[in-house]
Structure 1
Amino acid sequence: MSAAGSNPLLSHAWGISPGADRVWAQINGFAPSTKPWERVFVILQAAIDDSYTEGKTFVFAGYIATAEAWAGFSRKWEELLPFARPSNRGIRRFKMSEMVNRMDDVRAFHRVIEEFVSMSVYIKFDIAELRNARERIWIEGTAIDWGFAADPHSLGFELLLGVFHTRLAIGDFDDPLQKILSGNTVNFIFDDQSQKGAIREGWDRFKASRAEDIEGVFGDDPDFLSDEKFLPLQAADFWAWWVREGYETGAIDRIKNDDFGTWRGTKHLSGTAIEIDEEGMVQLLMQTLRGRIGMAAP
């Protein structure tokens, strides 16, 4: 980190690292702040395999770090990209799904994540259990509008925002999320290939329901950037893939403890893991409906 009182944004050498340039350009576009370089980025990417197929896992996952840390991360990550495969546009970028047979190279990328990020975060639920939860709730004589819970991207982001807000409101300083977010503004950045419309709907619903409570906690509307240019999104892809893989293979506890099978992490990253089963989903949907239409519990 920079020395107290210094401004890493002003001292950044432009034109040397495109990845670092993109991080600083992004933060420079936010509303003015006395210390804009200390804003916190939450890089969340939906890495979904057959997300609309019955019984499949849905994950939003990513990492949290300051802009200064993400700039340092990007410089080192760029050095490893020759080991990654090129996209269909010929640009090399890290995709965990393309690296499953090259774990020695993956380990090197993970070392960069360990060096720079502050913590990990994810939310996970099953698409089938979401459907089951909707079917278990009824209001006599009324057809429920399930629009808010029809798309897992929209609902997932809204639920994630709710957890962030609740953790901060509780003020538990033993919570890693509370430790890093307290006093900071969170801005969410997604891969530009994500379901933009659905994610924005989740954001709009959450913001409308808690407009007074979220001022100073959450930043501007979520951004959607190219993962070929904004390299922290490639780290989010790493974590989202492993979280989904962990749940689908029964190895999630091992993975959360930095054990990736053929190799282990060298540093344990603190993190927030949000897992919602069917019963939990029923309760969350009922709570949302009560807030919307003032219903009693079915």
Structure 2
Amino acid sequence: MTSSPTPPSRITIATRESQLALWQAEHVQSLLIARGHQAGILGMTTRGDQILDRTLSKVGGKGLFVKELEVALQEGNADIAVHSLKDVPMELPAGFALACVMLREDPRDAFVSPHYARLQDLPQGAVVGTSSLRRQVLLQALRPDLKIEPLRGNVQTRLRKLDEGQYAAIVLAAAGLKRLGLHERIRSVFEPTEMLPAAGQGALGIEIRADRQDLIDTLAPLADERTWLTVTAERAVSRAMGGSCSMPLAAHGQWQDDTLALHAAWGDLEGGQPLVRAQGQAPVATLAQADALGLEVAARLQAGGARKA
């Protein structure tokens, strides 16, 4: 009989130092401590945090938020890294693994404005801030008259720019605002039928070195099976499309009993063709089945005219 690896005596959590990233790391830390583990936090500044004058799609993508954390794992300075899954590249580098996906927070996008309650209330030509290409094409599909301007920085920085009057409204992930206790800043939320969320939005993932079986066992109780299956299907769409933050792509799954319904959308930034939408559904009980559903929906997107990166 093979015994399980001995749990680590202390777990060091690598995280970005933004307020939201620290909340996420501290949330995982508290869950580990509640289960009897010792856990500490290693705060780090990533390239993605340092480059704020250009959109991510122009400076290397969302991997800029995780590279330094992976170096800390590789060099043994940290044991795990906590990420917002929508910031994690679809393909992890060799030697790394996603060990745990936790229960999802609200995956929807939030409309934030000091003067307007809904997107429909904005005057013609109003400036809306977002640096997400996905949000840009979906906003333009809903309100082609609006002016979409880039918006970078952490949540507090984005809210400050809004309050200074640089934008009439901004669009942020509802999950981040709720986790930071900023519920009151949400004027309304976009239902997925209006603005389809990004793959993995609202979910937290924990990355480890692939050879750390001791951590896989330790983190297993923190995982939420249905969230993991859902985001696996969503991320499979993005992976098949070559998706990154340089592609305006959305993928979102919802459960109907034991069947996962997966919706995806692709947009043309040049406005040369309308949004391409695709969907599929299947009974899903394993990660392989979730992955297969995602590949099927990605193939339907391409058949509808969506272009791979």
Q: TM-score range by the shorter chain?
A: under 0.3
Q: Normalised by the size of structure 2, how large is the TM-score?
A: 0.25
- Say which structure is richer in strand: 2
Q: Normalised by the size of structure 1, how large is the TM-score?
A: 0.26
- Say which structure is richer in helix: 1
